[in-house]
């Protein structure tokens, strides 16, 4: 057994020695492979644009229905009874809103300054991402730029926006939610300033839309009750002034018929006053309910310059290094593969003879 183990070790040493000897003989082949692949790695790294990552992190806190909670609990302490009608609010709903065409379209119409040029993000997108060159031979889009406001865009502008939206969703935007509920919005593009500004405006637009949409019903209720309370207040003042005028006109001259008129006026004042108090109570309940329904979005992190660069072959040194090792590997495979092929060919020829 010991002899067999010694023989195996010797064989291994011989194989390794023959391996390196063969590599020395074929050093020119290895050099050619290494030079070619290193050159390709250098070329690739020089043509590859770095990808800048802008990230925003946010946390959603909201009432999720049920009995009086939050602001409504405070309302109940003051004797204002009411119940929350807020819909169940989830992070998934917010994520879907951020990815909608409406939100991304609105983001494209935000103005910012990139490379000393102040314009909307949509026009920066054309200049920064190769569309000007791509549209050079297209008569319908040659020298195209957005000239109208978001509310008055043309059919052509809308078609281009849809094209931009698809590219943003497919290549530049990712949204993730952690187990703890933290939402991360990530924008990755070849332009550092565009990545940052688009990410910032996207989160701002989405959160504003989300909060306003969720609280829309509550705001409408508050507005209606406020108008009704204002109307009752005016009617109450008019009734009180009518009672005061009657008293002034009939001072010390009160007859039975006059007393009936006074009772009618007093009754109207009491009714209007009761309506006013109930209206104020309902208004306060509506305001507390609106406060309870409105989701609280806390922005934890916002992108700041300089941005992180996506991992990958982005430097000439990395390109040459990776190319060198790939060239060496391919050359070794080629050398021993060709040797093995030659051996098999010789054995087959000998067998035929």
**Are residues 208 and 225 part of one domain?**
no
Dist. CA 205–CA 102, nearest whole Å = 10
How many Cβ atoms sit within 10 Å of the Cβ of residue 250? Answer: 14
- Phi then psi for 131, rounded to 5 degrees? -70, -35
Q: What is the pLDDT of residue 27?
A: 82
Q: Does 254 fall in a domain?
A: yes
Q: Does 31 fall in a domain?
A: yes
Dist. CA 226–CA 232, nearest whole Å = 10
Report residue 347 as tokens. Answer: 């054995």
Domain count, the chain: 3
Sign for the CA dihedral angle at 299, 305, 310, 311 comes to: negative
Q: Does 139 fall in a domain?
A: yes
Range of the domain at 162: 52-78+86-215+296-302
**Are residues 239 and 159 part of one domain?**
no
Q: Of 246, 264, 293, which closes a domain?
A: 293
**Are residues 67 and 7 part of one domain?**
no
Q: Does 307 fall in a domain?
A: no
SS3 readout for the chain: CHHHHHHHHHHHHHHHHHHHHHHHHCHHHHHHHHHHHHHHHHHHHHHCCCCEEEEEEEEEECCCCCCCCCHHHHHHHCCCCCCCCCCCCCHHHHHHHHCCHHHHHHHHCCEEEECCEEEEHHHHHHHHCCHHHHCCCCCCCCCCCCCCCHHHCCHHHHHHHHHHHHHHHHHHEEEEECCCCCEEEEEEECCHHHHHHHHHHHHHHHHHHHHHHHCHHHHHHHHHHHHHHHHHHHHHHHHHHHHHHHHHHCCCCCCHHHHHHHHHHHHHHHHHHHHHHHHHHHHHHHHHHHHHHCCEEEEEECCCCCCEECCCCCCHHHHHHHHHHHHHHHHHHHHHHHHHHHHHHHHHHHHHC
Task: Give the chain's radius of gyration (CA, Å).
Answer: 39
**Are residues 166 and 90 part of one domain?**
yes
Q: Of 261, 293, 325, which closes a domain?
A: 293
Please name every residue paired with 118 in a beta bridge, in sequence order, or none if there are none: 113
**Are residues 176 and 57 part of one domain?**
yes
**Are residues 254 and 207 part of one domain?**
no
Q: Does 158 fall in a domain?
A: yes
Q: What is the pLDDT of residue 263?
A: 76
Q: Of 302, 322, 337, which closes a domain?
A: 302
Q: Does 255 fall in a domain?
A: yes
pLDDT in tens, the chain (353 residues): 444 444 567 777 777 777 777 778 778 888 888 888 888 877 777 766 788 999 999 887 654 444 344 444 444 444 444 444 444 457 788 889 899 999 999 999 999 999 888 999 999 999 998 898 889 888 889 889 999 998 899 999 999 999 999 999 999 999 999 888 889 999 999 999 999 999 999 999 988 887 777 666 666 676 777 777 778 788 778 877 777 776 776 665 555 555 667 777 778 778 877 877 777 777 777 666 666 666 667 788 889 889 888 766 566 777 788 888 888 888 888 877 877 777 777 777 677 65
Dist. CA 117–CA 132, nearest whole Å = 16
**Are residues 27 and 107 part of one domain?**
no
pTM: 0.59
**Are residues 108 and 61 part of one domain?**
yes
Residue in the structure block whose two tokens are 């006013």: 276
Q: Does 344 fall in a domain?
A: yes
**Are residues 195 and 58 part of one domain?**
yes
**Are residues 190 and 67 part of one domain?**
yes
**Are residues 206 and 67 part of one domain?**
yes
**Are residues 71 and 161 part of one domain?**
yes
Q: Does 308 fall in a domain?
A: no
Q: Which of 309, 61, 53, 99 is nearest to 203 (CA)?
A: 99
């Amino acid at each position: 057994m010991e002899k067999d183990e010694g023989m195996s070790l010797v064989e291994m040493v011989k194989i390794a020695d023959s391996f390196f000897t063969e590599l020395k003989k074929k050093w020119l082949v290895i050099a050619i492979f290494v030079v070619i692949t290193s050159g390709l790695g250098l070329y690739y790294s020089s043509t590859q644009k770095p990808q800048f990552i802008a990230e925003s992190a946010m946390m959603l806190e909201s009432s999720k229905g049920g009995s009086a909670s939050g602001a409504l609990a405070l309302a109940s302490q003051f004797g204002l009874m009411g119940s929350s009608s807020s819909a169940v609010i989830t992070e998934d709903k917010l994520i879907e809103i951020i990815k909608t065409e409406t939100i991304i379209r609105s983001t494209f119409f935000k103005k910012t300054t990139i490379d000393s040029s102040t314009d909307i993000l949509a026009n920066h997108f054309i200049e920064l991402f190769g569309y000007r060159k791509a549209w050079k031979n297209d008569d319908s889009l040659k020298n195209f730029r957005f000239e109208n406001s978001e509310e008055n865009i043309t059919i052509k502008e809308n078609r281009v926006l849809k094209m931009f939206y698809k590219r943003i969703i497919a290549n530049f935007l990712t949204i993730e939610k952690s187990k703890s509920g933290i939402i991360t919005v990530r924008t990755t593009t070849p332009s550092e300033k565009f990545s940052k500004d688009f990410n910032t405006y996207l989160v701002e637009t989405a959160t504003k839309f989300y909060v306003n949409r969720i609280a829309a019903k509550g705001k409408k209720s508050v507005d209606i009750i406020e108008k009704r309370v204002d109307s009752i207040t005016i009617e109450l003042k008019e009734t009180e002034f009518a009672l005061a005028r009657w008293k002034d006109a009939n001072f010390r001259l009160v007859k039975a018929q006059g007393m009936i008129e006074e009772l009618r006026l007093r009754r109207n004042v009491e009714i209007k006053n009761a309506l006013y108090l109930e209206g104020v109570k309902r208004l306060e309940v509506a305001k507390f309910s609106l406060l309870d329904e409105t989701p609280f979005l806390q922005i934890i992190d916002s992108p700041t310059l300089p941005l992180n660069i996506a991992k990958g072959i982005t430097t000439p040194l990395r390109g040459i290094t990776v190319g060198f090792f790939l060239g060496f590997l391919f050359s070794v495979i080629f050398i021993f593969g060709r040797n093995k092929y030659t051996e098999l060919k010789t054995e087959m020829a000998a067998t035929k003879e």
